[in-house]
Structure 1
Amino acid sequence: MPSESLGPEPPFLDLDRLEDAARELLPADVFDYYAGGAETETTLREAPDAWRSWRLRPRVLRGVTSVPLATEVLGAPVSSPIGVAPWAYQGMAHPDGELATARGAAAAGSLMTLSTSATHTLEEVATEIPGSPRWFQLYRLHSGRHTDDLARRAGDAGYAALVLTVDLPLLGRRHRDLRHDFALPAGLRMANHPADGDRPTLQDLATATWTFDDIARFGELSGLPVVVKGVLRGDDAVRCVRAGASAVWVSTHGGRQVDPAVPSAHALPEVVEAVGEEVEVYADGGVRTGSDVLTALALGARAVFVARPTIWGLATGGADGVAGVLSGLAEELAHTMALCGVDDVRSVPRDTVVPAR
């Protein structure tokens, strides 16, 4: 009987257990802010299962026993195609907040996307990980002058791309937050915003509406390539590219905006087909396993981004917790790719997945 040669079994990453541990540690309003979605939370609930609505088709006899995961995202080298999605108010989860997440992402060789609504300034985070790839996510909050200034600051601080989150013309109705009358805890503030926003409520977070013309405008202001996040339609993706986007990011905003919305796992193929090879496409929303990542890559994503798993890692283990989540997902991805006979994260064949019957 020939011996198996896939190497040792990778560590088991139990995200459900990690979430339960975070629930025990965090105040109820904070946990619900991170965990909750909009309206009936249908989009939130369906996101993980949508990735499982695809089935892997393994290749055999390919001699694949180990898989290097290194790739490039907008030209920046990363250790795996798994990055950190932007998420706000990380100081509620851990005293070091975004600084700890940045250290964890850097340790895992992953790309971090910093939220406009961070509890540390974009300059502080840049100083924390000067040699690691990082993007800055931009909302149109407060005055137009302030939004313009944030874009310029991101370019000056060495961020590699500007991520325009375009799916928030109005704040989604997040009933958990409304029940708690959510506000930032005392002592925390949105560090990238004027000091008069120390303890914002949900009603303070109204945004101005983006237009396609803003893509080129904010690229010029920042001097950075622009990634448009929140795209769920092929026709919108094409218009973004024509307007100057360097990449499009398929996202349902963590199920926190339109509900019920088409899951990212179902919208991704349409977006990829629409833009072809013109730009890179990314995805987030319910990615919880290495097989989910492989499915996204087979459907045409260049990389995926995760938020809630890294939140639970941050809450329970700080920078080490974040690094553990990202490394664990990467190990799962490499293991699944080897089992499927796929050896290159940059060119996963489309026929690696088919719809479940």
Structure 2
Amino acid sequence: MAGNNDSNKITRDYLDSLLIEQRLIDSTLPSAKTVILGKEYSTPIMNAAFSHLEKAHPGYPQAMAEGFKGAGALNMWGMSTDEEMEKIYATGADTIEIIKPYAEEKEIFHRIEFALSHGAVAVGMDIDHAYGRNGAYDEVGGIKMEPKSLEQIGKYVEAAGDKPFVVKGVLSASDALKCVKAGVKAIIISHHHGIFDGAVPPLQILPEIKEVVGDNIEIYADCGFDTALDVFKALAIGAKAVSVSRAILDKTYDTGAEGVTKEINSMTAELVSIMGRCGFATTDSINDSVLWSR
């Protein structure tokens, strides 16, 4: 039992400790349009790198991709079979494929090549699946994982060619700087929904990461972002985009792509209202000057 070290509860408590002030005079109706990896999207809200959903909910990964496409949002997906990923790419949704840190390097390069050949807008790696809780390297579905070196990540960046390479699971300035050195274009600040206990909340460490990497890499936030207010707080602290999809899963299993689009549009509309109330006309202009601690 994680007890008081439950990373998800710690993250939720930290998010809830942040308050916002109001700045109405001279404000105008904002736009949530956001440029991510060089392309403009209707919202800074993006999908999370889900895995293994096809077996439990057949057809849902494709519906989710279609839903994000319908909302003008960026899709992202994790560990899946080639057949499952082909169905996701067939939707035409802009998709980042996030690869597990397989011990077998050949599988990693296959997945990179597969993603590129199927039109992925970017490809990346979920580095936080390196260790299990049993004193050994992690295994996912019986497949062995391993931590990766700076040199290895650099080779993945090279294999991606002109497509951006993204690293998910960065939770320190040290790893963030190594990603910059390797040529990574974006990092996702995440503890993988509490993959280990006592993890620092992504938004608590984000300012330190932002300070050391500057504008050399895009920063996205993941873990526990359930509402438009959560998204706003992440943007204010320095994230360019935010994964919120876990919050909409239970609401959209039965409503399909239309339900996913509706949820994202609703959350984006609420984000626009919060931006206006705080005096920010664009997502890039949002900053932490409106944040207070409880």
TM-score where L is the length of structure 1: 0.75
The Cα RMSD (Å) is 2.1
Partners of 2:27 and 2:277 within 8 A in 1: no
> Partner amino acid for 1:161?
A
1:170 aligns with 2:131: yes
- Segments of structure 2 that go 5 or more residues without pairing to the other structure are none
Q: Which moved more, 1:67-76 or 1:213-222?
A: 213-222
Q: 1:81 aligns with which of 41, 44, 47?
A: 44
Q: Which amino acid aligns with 1:59?
A: R
Matches of 1:158 and 1:325 in 2, distance apart?
26
Q: CA deviation at 1:49?
A: 2.6
Partner of 2:188: 249
Aligned pair in 2 of structure 1 residues 71, 203: CA closer, same or farther (>3 Å)?
closer
Alpha-carbon distance between aligned partners in 1 of 2:201 and 2:236, rounded to the nearest angstrom: 16
Which runs of structure 2 are paired with 1:114-193 in the superposition (5 Å)?
114-117=77-80, 120-129=83-92, 132-141=93-102, 143-172=104-133
- Which aligned pairs between 1:1-357 and structure 2 lie closer than 5 A? 39-40=2-3, 42-64=6-28, 66-117=29-80, 120-129=83-92, 132-141=93-102, 143-172=104-133, 204-223=142-161, 224-255=163-194, 257-356=195-294
Identity of aligned residues (%): 28
Deviation of the 1:325 alpha carbon: 2.2
The superposition leaves residues 233-283 of structure 1 with CA deviations (integer Å, 9 ceiling, x where unpaired) of: 11221121012111111001011x111211112121111112112111110
What is the TM-score normalised by the length of structure 2? 0.90
Asked if the contact 2:44–2:241 (Cα under 8 Å) also holds between the matched residues in 1, the reply is yes
Do the aligned partners of residues 143 and 233 (structure 1) sit closer, same or farther apart at CA in structure 2, a change above 3 Å counting? closer
Match of 2:180, SS state, is helix
From the CA coordinates, give the structure whose radius of gyration is larger: 1
Q: Shift in Å at residue 143 of structure 1?
A: 3.0
Deviation of 1:315 after TM superposition, in Å, equals 1.7
Q: Deviations over 1:167-202 (max 9, x none)?
A: 1112357xxxxxxxxxxxxxxxxxxxxxxxxxxx95
SS of residue paired to 2:57: coil
Q: Distance in 2 between matches of 1:210 and 1:169?
A: 8
